[in-house]
Amino acid sequence: MRGLGTIINVLAIAAGGGLGLLFKKGINERFRNIMTQACGLAVVFIGLAGALEMMLTVKDGAIVSGQAMLVVISLLLGGLCGELINIEKRLDSIGEKLKRKVKSKSDSQFVEGFVTASLVVCVGAMAICGPIDEALTGDSTTLIIKSVLDCIIVMVFASVYGVGALFSAIAVGVYQGFFTLFGVLISRFMSDALILSLSGVGSILIFAVGVNLIRPKTIKVGNFLPALLVPILYQLIIYLFGLWGITW
């Protein structure tokens, strides 16, 4: 069933967030800080592994780099577009609105928890490939595995940041729902190269999220989110040029 994996993912995040809130008052601040840093280190290496998987391949016994230029262009153009419309500020604004809705004005970490958790569980290889794979094949395995990981991650974030992390379930539902619909509507345009590019750029953003967990507010990760659109546009241009009989 298309969309089932995302529904499971949303429920898993809600469950993890609820457990994290139960543990929050019983965890000393020192331990919460070290848990945040541990998550940061884990997220950094998850992102790094995904990025290297895209950019480095083994050919004839030698390591060969590939698609590095596409990554650079994606990050550059995406960062400029994101800075122009200031996505980071808009994400903070969404967090503030949710904060008022749930009457958590006294919770100084609500916005940080919402934005941080949302970026970690939304931007990455599994969040992109999972919904698309489910849309194309009906297989929810990737998203079910992601649900287990997200449940644990958001549980830790909720224990550190509070209720804001729990609302990342909404972001996941919208984000992965979009890619499910995207996979259904333009499945004929999808290719292994495009999925690999999307995953690679997403993994680099995940790496940046990990850096921010270790050193808060170092990188405006939200403003780099449009970078995920650049590989799609690149693939679309190649497809159109192919229709017109133009070769690169």
The count of residues in the chain is 248
HSE of 169, CA atoms in CB hemisphere, 13 A:
21
- pLDDT value for 98: 66
Mean pLDDT across the chain: 80
Tell me the per-residue pLDDT of 138-165, one tens digit each, with 9 for 90 and over.
Answer: 788 888 888 988 888 898 888 888 888 8
Kindly tell me if the per-residue pLDDT of 100 is higher than 80.
Answer: no
Within its chain, how far is the Cα of 97 from the centroid? 21
Q: For 236-244, which contacts have Cβ atoms below 8 Å and span 24 or more sequence positions?
A: 236/189, 239/189
Percentage of the residues of the chain whose pLDDT score is greater than 90: 14
Which tokens sit at 102?
């749930």
Tell me the per-residue pLDDT of 216-226, one tens digit each, with 9 for 90 and over.
Answer: 778 888 888 88
Kindly tell me if the per-residue pLDDT of 105 is higher than 60.
Answer: no
Q: Are 203 and 210 in contact (CB under 8 A)?
A: no
Coil/strand/helix, residue 102:
coil
- pLDDT value for 84: 94
Tell me the per-residue pLDDT of 11-52, one tens digit each, with 9 for 90 and over.
Answer: 999 999 998 888 776 667 777 778 778 877 887 887 788 778
- pLDDT value for 78: 93
**C-alpha span between 41 and 192 (Å, rounded):** 29
**Rounded-to-10 torsion of CA 231, 233, 238, 244:** 170
Kindly tell me if the per-residue pLDDT of 242 is higher than 80.
Answer: no
| DSSP single-letter state for residue 104 | -
Kindly tell me if the per-residue pLDDT of 128 is higher than 70.
Answer: yes
Does this model's pTM top 0.75? My answer is no
For strands 62-65 and 56-59, give the pairing: antiparallel
